[in-house]
Structure 1
């Protein structure tokens, strides 16, 4: 059997980013995917039980990082035919009483809408949105090396100097919004909700440092440019562009190829796993040293999301019209309500009013609307391993802020958290973050080792269970692949990603 240079297990965005990087260096690369279709958490599929004509995003649907990621910016999605459609309202947060926080792409317009909190919002997020490249590089770095912190920032030493001020503002903002002082800056529930809804993406008790980091990064990107975007046609457009580039450089992809033991792998000089640490432990076995095995076994998964897909006969009838201009809506009520809901989930209970994320791609991609019908994507936060059908809880939460929603929802399908791993093994128990999003595990991810990607000689982990963590950005794959190039293939001149 021919010896390959590299095998990548898993075809999510990180696995494909690793494969593209290796193939562009002239290596022979094969990607193995257990599912019948490629893409991991970024797949777009047909659901005949709901509608034969509509395309549904299986997991991720909205992609702030696809616009901001240093890897995907260098890859240049637009040059590969991927159109990222960004709404003028990046995201919204409805409240009772016909109120809502509206995050316009325009910072000043957002501040004006927040009334007495406008100046405080501008003071917190203005410098971060102006320095978004530096903030993104810091957030999406490898959490270990100086070079890994400078990806996407030009200028060498000058580039490092340019990171100091945005980095300091980001760090102080995280300390403020991640601790006991988080309620002191803002007076209104609109401003509090805009940050808390984004922080809740981490599915962790609030306030938290990791949640604050997520909220400040994504909220600042909302004002930085065409972020919070929907790929036209669905998330699969990003995956398909990466696959085309991989194949153009000689790489191959095999779907429906499950890897459960080392003998399932074709011979290769390097193997990169876009999987959970548990999968690496199971497949690589004694190839991993005892200390690293013990450290990987300590990796913890977090709480979960249960997915509900809807077919609507019209747009969501949000009580505040501007909410309907956003492709992403955080539904959870006040900050206090969201804190209570996340505490309930952390204690193993289902919140009566769960935090719900809603996305209507038809807001910016009219092609997703067919025959008057449109898909609506949603998930609710639940305890890990939950088997509950959360459809009614999600409907109640949306109806609360969009009276008449039940009348336009003509079909629905729930995927309980316990079933999420059936379509993506990287989501055990419904953990869509591929690991508990605590501050420690966002830095020491998956372990505190100096190289978070190297598992054993010629064996690497490159999934969202490694830095920088969850999101469609490809950065974990990029970081891991470049280490493999240097260590296993002595490639010092890293390949360009330009089309």
Structure 2
């Protein structure tokens, strides 16, 4: 008899989601993590100076409350709390006031002026129906449960980000849109690049972009506590290189990307399946900086201090050029930068009177060029004097990112490029992409639908298929 019903390799949000789903169904599971702490991209560490707590990877969590899986878990009972900024996003501009993303849709009318109506039409049909929409957009390709709603969403989401931007009259609105869609790490003129902007904007107006009190580690700790309360086991500091070395089990779920899976010994995959994994495409990498700061970031428009997330890139055209350059292997001296200032809203992140800064820019896959100056110049462009507030910094290039979390191949934090070819058919062209050619092995990483982000849905769906295939337990969601 197998010692475990299931073993899950990898303790990121998807690994935990798979493990929890299986444990909830009454299975006995073991979650194995190679690092000395669990969490994958959801870890908080003292990277700079004593008393400064930095989110190593994920920081602000737009999908944390919007996830159909996370929203049903009693994580508040295990200590998870969120806080919110005054504005969901600030987008500073050269020589004019910043444009702000308010959670309240009506507040956007004053912000956007004549563009308010097209902006509202973009999001309004989906904000109050997110729960229905999420059933179709947060999983594998299938006939939608809500076909008309999904159809309306798809007609917009499958457009290029540039096509949507061209429907706005004001450069301010175009810039705000550019900052949101550029999270997708693709050139903004490509098909389906509007999808990430549709998702992130919809959940911003429905749930906000919350900040976990205590750092991203707080999400991990709550997931771990709940999982262990269900009877699940966690084993740290165990890098699995050979499947034959694992305890006996009936099934295995891998929170790993294709490149890692291909390295596993004694994993019995067909040659055809291996070829499909070898053809999987990774996207842009990231260069990351964390700062210990002597004071709050001195944005010219002080309202930017009241947004946890600040998009730095100025105009739509500048951001589009930055993303296009990165896609084509070129480094841009004025990169699009995602900046976060969690300590403004969670005082435990830094000593009294001091602050943290968190930022990254996109770089070509695997690039190890030092982007410190380029990023700090972009911050200083909109917050003159920022460089003078830096007490210490921690930098991570793409190689550092992959060393920290092997799922980040070449610095790709999304588990593979999420373009039209790999949006739903990832990592293989299959309607059941969580299954591998070995009927006892499943994939639960961001390399499966719905892709990157802290939502756990890849792990949930992998576990759902495994339960139906091997334990005759059907989860219909």
TM-score (norm 1): 0.92
After superposition, where does 1:423-434 map in structure 2 within 5 Å? Answer: 423-434=404-415
| Aligned with 1:172 (options 146, 155, 163) | 155
Task: Give 1:252 shift.
Answer: 0.9
Q: Deviations over 1:423-464 (max 9, x none)?
A: 100001100111012111111111112210011111000000
- In structure 2, the gaps of 5 or more residues are none
| Residues 347 and 467 of structure 1, relative CA distance in 2, 3 Å threshold | same
Residue 405 (1) aligns with residue 386 (2)? yes
User: Aligned pair in 2 of structure 1 residues 207, 363: CA closer, same or farther (>3 Å)?
Assistant: farther
User: Distance between the aligned counterparts of 1:254 and 1:176, measured in 2?
Assistant: 44
Poorly superposed stretches of 4+, deviation over 3 Å: 163-166, 175-179
Question: Where do 1:112-123 residues align within 5 Å?
Answer: 112-123=110-121
Asked if 1:490 corresponds to 2:472, the answer is yes
Give the match for residue 157 of structure 1.
none
Which one is further off, 424-433 or 167-176?
Answer: 167-176
Q: CA deviation at 1:134?
A: 2.9
Name the counterpart of 1:223.
Answer: 205
RMSD between aligned alpha carbons? 1.8
5+ residue gaps in structure 1? 150-159
Cα distance per residue 1:54-82 (max 9 Å; x no partner)? 21111000111111000001113323321
CA contact 1:301–1:436 (8 Å) conserved in 2: yes
Of 63, 66, 90, the match for 2:64:
66
Deviation at 1:284, TM superposition (A): 5.5
1:81 equivalent in alignment to 2:79: yes
Give the distance between the partners of 1:41 and 1:325, measured in 2 at CA: 25
Residue in structure 1 matching 2:219, options 219, 238, 256: 238
- The aligned counterpart of 2:18 is 18
Structure 2 CA distance for aligned equivalents of residues 445 and 323 of structure 1: 37
Deviations 1:18-41 (A, max 9, x none): 111111222111111111111001
Change over 3 Å in CA distance of 1:138–1:414 after alignment to 2: same
The answer as to whether partners of 2:326 and 2:362 remain within 8 angstroms in 1 is yes
Q: Which has the higher helix share?
A: 1
* TM score, norm. by length of structure 2: 0.96
Q: Distance in 2 between matches of 1:111 and 1:362?
A: 29
Distance 2:161 2:54 in 1: 34
Deviations 1:302-333, CA, capped at 9 Å, x for gaps: 11111100111111111112221110011111
Equivalent in the alignment of 1:212: 194
Structure 1 segment 222-371 matched on structure 2, within 5 A? 222-225=204-207, 227-283=208-264, 287-371=268-352
1:490 to partner: Cα distance: 2.0
**Distance in 1 (alpha carbons) for counterparts of 2:164 and 2:221:** 41
Per-residue CA distance 1:451-479 (angstroms, 9 max, x = gap): 10011111000000001100000101111
CA distance in 1, matches of 2:406, 2:231: 27
